[in-house]
Amino acid sequence: MATNDIPLRERKAARTRLNLARALAGQLARHSLDEVAVRDLCAEIEISEATFFNYFPRKTDLLAYLGRLWTLELQWHASQAAAEKPGLAAIEAVFQAAARRVQAEPQAWGEWIAWQAQQREKREEEPLTQAEKRLGFPDCAGIETLAEQRLDGLLAQQLTRAIERGELPANTPVPVVMAALIAQFYGVILILKQAQPGAIGGQFRQQLQLLWAGIRELTRSGTNA
């Protein structure tokens, strides 16, 4: 995707932020977040520490940014699946895209999930720029048109579509199913990321199949526990 229509200053800022995110992911393959030094990240991409803190006031802000990039990529995969078949196929596309990412960067994902678990309130952040979206994902056509969504919002949207399309019963207990989806997503990653990251995709498929079957059985019996 061409970026010449984006101002040079925006492109340069985007490249700096993206390079820092990649450097952090690389460092987290070998060290915990606490062990990663800002000076090492800066040395790797050849910027000053002052420049780092101009973009990210804290190291955890960079980790949050890395997570936002991952979530945007999952959103793009969901949009591609939803273009042909919204609903359950789009949810499954999110899970499988995550499985591929976790297999490539298991430790970084573990740190991100652990950090999220410690957050007590929703963070307000500036939206990703078009330059960040295009430069970060050059193979994802149209990704710059996506407005960022949180993972839970993305899954809830496609769950609603699945109900509207009749893939799941009309009396599906949405809050219960959403809790199950989020638990499966993070739980499978945390259990398998260290020893068997390559098995995450298969486990996701099995867990989702069980969940869909369970919902249909639950609603057929008229139980909405």
Q: What is the pLDDT of residue 225?
A: 45
Q: What are 148-156's contacts with CB under 8 Å, separation 24+?
A: 148/68, 148/71, 148/72, 148/75, 149/71, 149/75, 150/71, 151/71, 151/74, 151/94, 151/182, 151/185, 152/178, 152/182, 154/71, 154/74, 154/75, 154/78, 154/94, 155/91, 155/94, 155/181, 155/182, 155/185
How far is Cα 99 from Cα 106, in angstroms, rounded to an integer?
Answer: 9
pLDDT, tens only, 73-119 = 999 999 999 999 999 999 999 999 999 999 999 999 999 999 999 88
How far is Cα 149 from Cα 71, in angstroms, rounded to an integer?
Answer: 8
pLDDT, tens only, 142-158 = 999 999 999 999 999 99
How far is Cα 101 from Cα 113, in angstroms, rounded to an integer?
Answer: 14
Taking residues 47-62, report their average pLDDT: 97
Q: Where do we find the tokens 């193979």?
A: 139
Percent of the chain with pLDDT over 70: 97
Structure tokens at 103: 């297999």
Taking residues 52-67, report their average pLDDT: 96
Question: What does the mean pLDDT of the chain come to?
Answer: 94
Q: What is the pLDDT of residue 2?
A: 61
Domain ranges of the chain: 63-220
> DSSP states of 121-152 as a string?
SPPP-PPPPHHHHHHH-TTSTTGGGPPP--HH
pLDDT, tens only, 13-25 = 999 999 999 999 9
How far is Cα 155 from Cα 185, in angstroms, rounded to an integer?
Answer: 11
Answer yes or no: CATH 2.30.29 is held by domain 63-220: no
Highest mean pLDDT among 1-5, 124-128, 130-134: 130-134
Q: Is it the case that residue 177 has pLDDT exceeding 90?
A: yes
Cα separations in angstroms, 161 against 120, 130, 214 = 30, 28, 18
Q: What is the pLDDT of residue 120?
A: 76
In the chain, alpha helices (H): 8-28, 38-45, 49-55, 59-84, 88-104, 106-117, 130-136, 151-164, 174-192, 200-220
Total-model pTM: 0.92
Structure tokens at 98: 């995550």
Q: What is the pLDDT of residue 90?
A: 97
3-state DSSP assignment of residue 113: helix
